[in-house]
Amino acid sequence: MKYIEEYRNRDLILKLSDHIKKSVIRDYSFMEVCGGHTSAIHRFGIPSLLPPEINLISGPGCPVCVTATDFIDKAIEYSRMKNVTIVTFGDLLRVPGSESSLEKEKIRGADIRIVFSGLEALKIAMSEQEKKVVFLGIGFETTAPGTAVTVRTAKEEGLKNFLLLSAHKVMPPVMETIASEEIKIDGFLCPGHVAAITGSGIFNFLPLKYRLGCVISGFEPTDILQSILILVRQINARSPATEIQYSRVVTTNGNLTAQDQMNKVFEHCDANWRGFGTIPGSGLRLKSEYEDFDVEKRIPVEPKLFHDNLSCICGDILRGLRKPENCSMFRKKCTPENPVGACMVSDEGACNTYFKYHAE
Grouping H, G, I as helix, E, B as strand and the rest as coil, residue 51 is coil
Task: State the residue range of the domain holding 213.
Answer: 1-324
Domain presence at residue 304: yes
Q: Please report, rounded to a whole number, the percentage of residues in the chain having pLDDT higher than 90.
A: 92
With a cut of 60, say whether residue 200 has pLDDT above it: yes
Alpha carbon distance 171, 190 (integer Å)? 10
Alpha carbon distance 192, 259 (integer Å)? 16
Domain presence at residue 340: no
Chain-centroid distance of CA 45 in Å reads 21
With a cut of 70, say whether residue 295 has pLDDT above it: yes
Domain presence at residue 342: no
The rounded mean pLDDT for the chain is 95
Domain presence at residue 106: yes
What's the pLDDT score for residue 321? 93
Alpha carbon distance 13, 225 (integer Å)? 7
Strands (E), the chain: 28-32, 54-58, 84-88, 112-114, 132-139, 162-168, 187-190, 213-216, 242-244, 266-273, 277-286
Give the chain's domain count. Answer: 1
With a cut of 90, say whether residue 40 has pLDDT above it: yes
Domain presence at residue 66: yes
Domain presence at residue 17: yes
With a cut of 60, say whether residue 330 has pLDDT above it: yes
Better-predicted residue by pLDDT, 192 or 305: 192
With a cut of 90, say whether residue 308 has pLDDT above it: no
With a cut of 80, say whether residue 106 has pLDDT above it: yes
Domain presence at residue 100: yes
The CATH number of residue 131's host domain is 3.40.50.11740
- The stretch 87-98 carries a mean pLDDT of 92
What's the pLDDT score for residue 1? 52
Domain presence at residue 339: no
What's the pLDDT score for residue 306? 67
What's the pLDDT score for residue 5? 83
User: Could you tell me the CA-to-CA distances from 202 to 25, 96, 188, 196, 230 in Å, in that order?
Assistant: 30, 32, 13, 11, 19
What's the pLDDT score for residue 2? 63
- The stretch 34-43 carries a mean pLDDT of 96
- The stretch 308-323 carries a mean pLDDT of 90
